[in-house]
Amino acid sequence: MVREMIPKEIIQALNRGRFNLLIKGAPGTGKTSLALTILRENITTGVYLSTRINLDELQEQFPWVKELIKRNQIYDATVSRFPRKESKYKLQYNNITEFIRSIYDLVESLGGQKVTIVIDSINALKEFFDVPEESMQIEKALIEISDLYAFNTVFISESSTEEKLDYLVDGIIVLERKVIDDSIIRRLSISKLRGSEITTPAYYFTISEEGIDIISPAKPYRDIYTGFRPIKNPDNLYSTGIIDLDKILGGGVFKGFSILWEVDSTVPLIYSAYLIDSFGINMMHNNIPWYFISSLSLSQYYLYNKFKKELKDVDVDKLFRIMVFIQTETEYEEKKVPILKKVLHVQSKVNTWREVHNILKNDIEKNKFEAFYVSVALNPLISFYSFNEFLRIILAITKFISAYNGLGVFFTTSKFEGFDQLRGIFDYYFKIEKHGNTVMFRILKPFLSSYYGVELYENEEGGLGIRLKKVI
């Protein structure tokens, strides 16, 4: 899969030529990272003029720009009233006319190629030349020569509010940075893009060692498990089935631990399903049974049929073991889904929690399973049982998992009365939520993690892969 570092809308606009783009935002929002990434992606022949910091400082902040400097794409355009050491990367000018002339000479030296000139920042130039912020003298001059000589101009502005330049440029990109519980969320908004269709008006992004890296907005994927790439369980740990998540957790999840996984109801089902199902699918690939416990069975049989069809290397009849709680639904489903005769049943009785424990224990011992995985859909359980009975069921399962070194994932799409009390039972607490058009993942226990953007993508085998991008 080809990764998009910057939005395709920006690429298309700059490829047309004669385009004037304004990138604006408060300090620390990633304006310089975005501008440098535009050059790095070779959209056009790019030239970056640093008017605020010199090249040594720039390389210290962004070590990867050394290659751009070698390609004569970055110039020191810092301003000083004192003589500076001459360098082929240093633009010399003392007034606005000389500055405009230096840009013209740069464009001429590139021999008619498609060129993008980045000025970071326009505010620094105005300060040096004692030009009032409201004056558009410099901007108008640059826009005029860019139109005359068919090159793009990218202005970096440190203003996050509306300004006169907004009305002169062809496109406006606004960057925002929000801190939630000491974690950063970064957002890129396309406010204006003259002559282009804005298919996605906002992107969330992270800043990597290579520049900015947008997080792909949520898309409607078909739920296909063909091509799942299993991971071998490391010693004393269980893999989550997701490489990036294993890394975040230090290799995987400890044996005997249970996870509470809260899913925001607005998150597209395919995203939460793939994140959670990856645990069980990977377990079955490691010949470990998956006990799926719920008081509703329709989704379980849907999964069973998909696994039978798509997981060719897994003995699904042996390893995908369904448990249902409600007798009336069991009787109803038995007439419609013959597979019920091949799986475990648990019928609702006063001592339900004891039955769950005993059936799990007997089934594991009977089949001589050395390890096991349990997933529990909490929403239907809480809807059929009183909270005290529901809590006894959960405690029985988590204690069983701990005693027999299994792994458990308990997932819910909503908080309910007593939810905070429930959180204390579990070793891990994960959350999936939606920010705008983007799915985010976060760990809330046993440690507080950063936000991770969740990306699904089609892999080479025709299935889906999962990528987690840390938002920094």
* Crossing angle of the two packed helices 269-285 and 298-310, in degrees rounded to 10: 60
Q: 153-188, pLDDT tens digit by residue?
A: 999 998 888 999 999 999 999 999 999 888 999 999
Q: Which of 192-196, 237-241, 263-267 has the lowest mean pLDDT?
A: 192-196
Q: 93-134, pLDDT tens digit by residue?
A: 888 888 888 888 888 887 767 889 999 889 988 888 888 988
Query: What average pLDDT does the structure give for the chain?
Result: 86
Name the CA radius of gyration of the chain, rounded: 29
| Rounded CA separation 465/319 (Å) | 22
Q: Which CATH superfamily is domain 8-215 in?
A: P-loop containing nucleotide triphosphate hydrolases (3.40.50.300)
Contact 192, 166 (CB under 8 A): yes
Q: Among candidates 18, 60, 17, 49, which has minimal Cα distance to 122?
A: 49
The more confidently predicted of residues 204 and 347 is: 204
In order of 103, 277, 284, 467, the CA distances from 320 in angstroms are 67, 12, 8, 26
Percent of the chain topping pLDDT 90: 49
| Rounded CA separation 352/295 (Å) | 12
Q: Residues 6 or more apart from 252 whose CB is under 8 A from it?
A: 233, 234, 237, 238, 239, 240, 246
3-state secondary structure of 214: strand
Pairing status of strand 428-435 against strand 258-263: parallel
Q: Do domains 8-215 and 237-470 have the same CATH topology?
A: yes
Phi, psi of 208 (to 5 degrees): -105, -175
Inform me whether the pLDDT recorded for 201 exceeds 90. Answer: yes
Pairing status of strand 320-324 against strand 290-294: parallel
Q: 205-239, pLDDT tens digit by residue?
A: 999 878 899 999 999 998 888 889 999 999 899 99
pLDDT for residue 450: 93
Using alpha carbons only, give the angle 230, 232, 236 rounded to the nearest 5 degrees: 140
Q: Is the peptide bond before 132 cis (omega within 30 degrees of 0)?
A: no
Inform me whether the pLDDT recorded for 332 exceeds 60. Answer: no
Q: How many C-beta neighbours within 10 Å does residue 417 have?
A: 9
Q: Which CATH superfamily is domain 237-470 in?
A: P-loop containing nucleotide triphosphate hydrolases (3.40.50.300)
Q: Is the peptide bond before 121 cis (omega within 30 degrees of 0)?
A: yes
pLDDT for residue 266: 94
Q: Among candidates 106, 90, 96, 84, which has minimal Cα distance to 127?
A: 96
| Rounded CA separation 292/302 (Å) | 12
**DSSP structural state of residue 64:** G
Q: Where are the alpha helices (DSSP H) in 298-410?
A: 298-310, 316-319, 327-336, 352-366, 378-384, 387-403
The sign one gets for the Cα dihedral 353, 357, 358, 364 is: positive
| Rounded CA separation 364/358 (Å) | 10
| Rounded CA separation 294/385 (Å) | 12
Helix (H), strand (E) at residue 103: helix 96-109
Q: For 343-370, what is the mean pLDDT?
A: 70
Would you list the domain boundaries of the chain?
8-215, 237-470
Pairing status of strand 290-294 against strand 74-76: unpaired
pLDDT for residue 154: 95
Inform me whether the pLDDT recorded for 139 exceeds 80. Answer: yes
The sign one gets for the Cα dihedral 236, 237, 238, 242 is: negative
C-alpha 126 chain-centroid distance: 38
Q: 430-471, pLDDT tens digit by residue?
A: 999 999 999 999 999 999 999 999 999 988 888 899 999 999
Q: Among candidates 82, 73, 78, which has minimal Cα distance to 91?
A: 78
Contact 200, 7 (CB under 8 A): yes
> How does DSSP assign 305-317, residue by residue?
HHHHHH-TTS-HH
pLDDT for residue 84: 53
Pairing status of strand 45-50 against strand 74-76: parallel
Give every strand in the sheet of 183-193, ordered side by side. 74-76, 45-50, 115-120, 152-157, 20-25, 171-180, 183-193, 202-208, 211-215
The more confidently predicted of residues 41 and 246 is: 246
Inform me whether the pLDDT recorded for 64 exceeds 60. Answer: yes
The more confidently predicted of residues 152 and 341 is: 152
Q: Please tell me the number of Cα atoms within 13 Å of 250 on its side-chain side.
A: 8
Q: Residues 6 or more apart from 447 whose CB is under 8 A from it?
A: none
Contact 329, 295 (CB under 8 A): yes
